[in-house]
Structure 1
Amino acid sequence: MSNPHNPIVVHPDAETLGSAVAADIADRMSEKIAAGGRFLLGCPGGRSPQTTYAALADEAANRGLDLGSLVIVMMDDYLQEVDGGWDHIPADAHNSCRRFAREDIQAVLNRAVPEEHRVPDANVWFPNPADPSAYDGRIRDAGGIDFFIIASGAGDGHVAFNPPESPVDSRSRIVELAEQTRRDNLATFPDFPSIDAVPTHGVTVGIATIAELSKAGALVLVGADKQSAFGKLADGEGYDPSWPATVYRLIDGAVLHSDAAAAGDRA
Structure 2
Amino acid sequence: MDDTVFPDPITLGRALAERIATQFAAARADGRRFVLGCPGGRTPVSTYAALAELVTGRDLDHVVIAMMDEYVLDGPRRLVDAAEPYSCRRFGREHIAGPLGIPDDRFLVPDLETDYDARLAELGGIDLFLLASGASDGHIGFNPPGSPSDSTTRVVALAEATRQDNLGTFPVLGSIENVPRFGLTVGIDTIRRLSRSAVMVVHGAHKAEAATRLRAARTYDPEWPATIAADCQEAELFIDQAAADGPGAREAGDD
> How does the TM-score come out when normalised to structure 2?
0.93
Q: 1:30 deviation in Å? A: 1.2
Distance in 2 (CA, whole Å) between partners of 1:173 and 1:73 is: 15
Structure 2 match to 1:47: 42
Residue 95 of structure 1: which of 64, 73, 86 is its match? 86
Confirm or deny: 8 A CA contact 2:45 2:95 kept in the other structure: yes
Q: State yes or no: 1:213 paired with 2:194.
A: yes
Structure 2 match to 1:144: 125
Structure 1 match to 2:159: 178
For residues 98-149 of structure 1, give each alpha carbon's deviation from its aligned partner in whole angstroms, at most 9, with x where no partner exists: 110111111222xxxxxxxx31121110111234xx1000000111100000
For residues 156-207 of structure 1, give each alpha carbon's deviation from its aligned partner in whole angstroms, at most 9, with x where no partner exists: 0000000001111110001110111111111111112211111000100001
Q: 1:236 deviation in Å? A: 2.8
Residue 8 of structure 1: which of 3, 16, 24 is its match? 3
Q: State yes or no: 1:106 paired with 2:89.
A: no
Kindly report the root-mean-square deviation, in angstroms, between the aligned alpha carbons of the 2 structures. 1.3
Confirm or deny: 8 A CA contact 1:30 1:65 kept in the other structure: no
Confirm or deny: 8 A CA contact 1:211 1:248 kept in the other structure: yes
Residue 29 of structure 2: which of 31, 34, 38 is its match? 34
Q: 1:228 deviation in Å? A: 1.2
User: For residues 122-161 of structure 1, what are the structure 2 equivalents within 5 Å?
Assistant: 122-131=105-114, 134-161=115-142
Residue 182 of structure 2: which of 161, 184, 201 is its match? 201
Distance in 2 (CA, whole Å) between partners of 1:26 and 1:235 is: 29
Distance in 2 (CA, whole Å) between partners of 1:98 and 1:80 is: 14
Structure 2 match to 1:21: 16
Structure 1 match to 2:253: none
1:166 partner SS: coil
Long gaps (5+) in structure 1: 1-5, 110-117
Structure 2 match to 1:231: 212
Long gaps (5+) in structure 2: 251-255
